[in-house]
Amino acid sequence: MSHHFDTMSELLQAMNLLKKVFDKYAGKDGDCKSLSKGELGDLLSNELCGGKAMKEKDVERFFADLNNDKDAVIDFQEYVTFVAALTALCNEHA
């Protein structure tokens, strides 16, 4: 996405932000292409819970639900699928 952020369409900005948030948390454990359970917990706590730590059992449940290929990490595709599902769910309740 080589366009300047200010000139990108809203959809391209949203796509860019999805990647930026993923990249912000992925790689702290050495693999920048996936989220470990701890990295996912940090992402959920900081981005969805206003910095309030999520309970470990809730992080475990999210991790198990998102890890579709059972490879013990959340890749970008699993993350994007989660964000899309969460967006749809929030839209249903709006």
Domain architecture of the chain: domains with CATH? 10-92 (1.10.238.10)
Give 8-49 pLDDT, tens digit per residue: 899 999 999 999 999 999 988 889 999 999 999 999 999 998
pTM: 0.83
Cα 26 from chain centroid (whole Å): 9
pLDDT value at residue 5: 57
What are the backbone angles phi and psi of residue 84, rounded to the nearest 5°?
-65, -45
Cα 57 from chain centroid (whole Å): 18
> Residue 11 is encoded by which pair of tokens?
């959809």
pLDDT value at residue 94: 60
* pLDDT(73) > 90: yes
Query: What is the rounded average pLDDT for all residues in the chain?
Result: 89
The full 3-state SS of 21-79, as one line of letters, equals HHHHHCCCCCCCCEECHHHHHHHHHHHHCCCCCCCHHHHHHHHHHHCCCCCCCEEHHHH
